[in-house]
């Protein structure tokens, strides 16, 4: 058997090194870089009466990437709109807000939420009355609870509202998305939505309640 010459061994070694470098670079390209890695998103859940309106309001916030109308706070699994509206399910109409914390903070979302609702109404919101229309913030951890409770304390200390804040701060539980026809209702049915919002007096009440502190 003939022993390979030195030049032959050198060429083979060089080819092997090139192959190793090629496959190493290919593998590196498959790994997400800081620029291409998926962004870290967070979520928050707010109940502020009619979820059509809450969804519409939060969609205007820079840094919010998605909103979903749904039900939460009760024990009934897979609730329907009819059940939540007319039965004692314990559920609230709520909106799950997915956001980019690099663009908007949880504190900002909580502040924004309060200035788009009537947090002093224990019976519902605007023209909609009933337990499912009450206001609440569903917190996922103690940091979120601290932010929500601090915001309530700040509002009450400011004296901007004549009556006490009754918005509950509740531990988050299963969020059940509402029926498809409720999602993005304000986009799918702009005329009906605008008529409902205006006739319900939502914006007028918010302006009267918060005055210059209202966030539009």
Report, as residue numbers or ranges, the catalytic residues. Answer: 50
Residue 21's SS3 state is: helix
CA distances from 93 to 15, 31, 66, 154 (A): 66, 41, 17, 26
Bridging pattern class, strands 168-171 and 124-125: unpaired
Rounded to whole angstroms, the Cα distance separating 116 from 126 reads: 11
Cα–Cα–Cα angle for 16, 22, 23, rounded to 5 degrees: 95
Rounded to whole angstroms, the Cα distance separating 39 from 25 reads: 24
């Amino acid at each position: 058997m003939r022993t390979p010459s030195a030049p032959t061994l050198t060429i083979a070694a060089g080819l092997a090194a090139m192959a190793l470098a090629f496959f190493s670079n290919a593998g590196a390209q498959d790994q997400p870089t800081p620029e291409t890695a998926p962004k870290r998103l967070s979520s928050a859940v707010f109940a502020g009466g009619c979820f059509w309106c809450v969804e519409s309001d939060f969609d205007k916030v820079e840094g919010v990437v998605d909103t979903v109308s749904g039900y939460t706070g009760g024990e009934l699994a897979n609730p329907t709109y009819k059940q939540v509206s007319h039965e004692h399910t314990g559920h609230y109409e709520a909106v799950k807000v997915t956001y980019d914390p690099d663009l908007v903070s949880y504190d900002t979302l909580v502040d924004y939420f309060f200035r788009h609702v009537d947090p002093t109404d224990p019976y519902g919101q605007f023209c909609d009355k009933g337990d499912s229309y009450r206001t609440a913030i569903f917190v996922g951890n103690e940091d979120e609870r601290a932010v929500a409770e601090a915001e309530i304390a700040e509002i009450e200390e400011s004296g901007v509202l004549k009556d006490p804040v009754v918005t509950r701060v509740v531990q988050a539980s299963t969020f059940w998305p509402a029926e498809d026809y409720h999602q993005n209702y304000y986009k799918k049915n702009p005329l009906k939505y605008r008529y409902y919002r205006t006739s319900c007096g939502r914006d007028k009440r918010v302006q009267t309640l918060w005055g210059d502190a209202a966030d539009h």
